[in-house]
Amino acid sequence: MPELPEVETIVRGLRGPLVGRTFTGVTVLWPKTVQTPVSELEQRLPGQRVEQITRRGKYLHFHLSAGDSLFIHLKMSGDLLVEPSAGPVHPHVRAIFHLDNGHQLRFKDMRKFGRVYLVDDPLKVVGKLGPEPLADDFTASAFAALFRRRRGRLKPLLLNQSFIAGIGNIYADESCFIAGIDPRRQVDTLSAEELGRLYHAVRQALQSGIMHKGATLDQVYRGGEFQHHFQVYGRTGAPCPRCGTAIERVVLGGRSTHFCPVCQR
DNA sequence: CTAAAATCCTGGTGGC
DNA sequence: TGCCACCAGGATTTTA
């Protein structure tokens, strides 16, 4: 489940092999992967050079020379590979982007949830996303301001991409633990002090994930090792690293949620 | 407005 | 050993 740190790691790894390359064609193997009509993709993509690759929330953003934007969302099981055109194609590859150097960018996605978009205006894809939690101008007061007039439980709000972009199930649970806040809390009961702790916890969890090159999970190997540093996520019944109490698991907003019943209030 | 459920998917798992 | 129901989960959509 690639979240912000995993996507950031993938983006950094793709710049070397892809920036400056020109797409020469595209082969769609699972049509639902492509949100843009296949015929339009086949017509507009070839000839466009990759000027830069950035990340917005959990989206990869390929800035193209004709002004178009190619977006890829990996969802649950997506991965991106740059491989020689002559090499074998893994059965889970859903789309192939042909490059001008005998290589291909291959979108591999076992569960078929991932999506590809080619648009003229980036806002058509990422226009409704909330702020970037690691941006320099995303201050503690900006964070606290987001909570004004918001209601509901904390965990689902952290997962809401139009609230803040990039946080997924792993980093939401880890952030709540670091902040010492129960993910079931109603957000309108959070004090200014607690919001301050949560701000630093979110940034720390995401930074730590990036430092470890993300987490390798779900049979998708990306070289990251943050999965060895989870404090609560996926550790139901295991001792809390702070107090030793067994980590509990509940379902919130349809998502499994892990927390320490003693350290998080 | 919030909240929960359904939807899309497949491979791994656990039960029998 | 083999079969199968069940589960995970990001984002969207539907229903309450």
Mean pLDDT computed over A129-154: 93
pLDDT value of position A149 = 85
pLDDT above 90 (res A254)? no
Report how far residue A73's alpha carbon sits from residue A80's, in angstroms, rounded to the nearest whole number.
10
Q: What is the DSSP string of A158-181?
A: HH-TTTSSS--HHHHHHHHHHHT-
Strand B contact at CB of residue A32, distance < 7 A: yes
pLDDT value of position A220 = 66
Q: To 5 degrees, how large is the angle CA A12–CA A124–CA A74?
A: 40
Ramachandran sector of residue A165 (left: φ over 0; alpha: ψ -120 to 50; beta: rest)? beta
CB A213 within 8 A of CB A70: no
Condensed to tens digits (0 to 9), the pLDDT of residues A31-51 reads 989 999 999 999 999 999 999
Domains located in chain A, CATH noted: 4-126 (3.20.190.10), 140-259 (1.10.8.50)
Report how far residue A15's alpha carbon sits from residue A22's, in angstroms, rounded to the nearest whole number.
13
Within 8 A by CB and 6+ apart from A42, the residues are A25, A26
Strand C contact at CB of residue A161, distance < 7 A: yes
Residues (226-255, chain A) with CB within 7 Å of strand C atoms: 234, 254-255
Condensed to tens digits (0 to 9), the pLDDT of residues A110-133 reads 988 899 999 999 999 999 899 999
How far the first Cα of chain A sits from its last, in Å, is 27
pLDDT above 80 (res A144)? yes
Distance A153 CA to B3 C1' (A): 10
Mean pLDDT computed over A234-263: 91
Mean pLDDT value across chain A: 92
List helix spans (H) across chain A. 4-18, 38-44, 123-126, 140-146, 154-159, 169-179, 192-211
Q: Give how far the C-alpha of residue A106 lies from the chain's centroid of Cα atoms, to the nearest Å.
A: 18
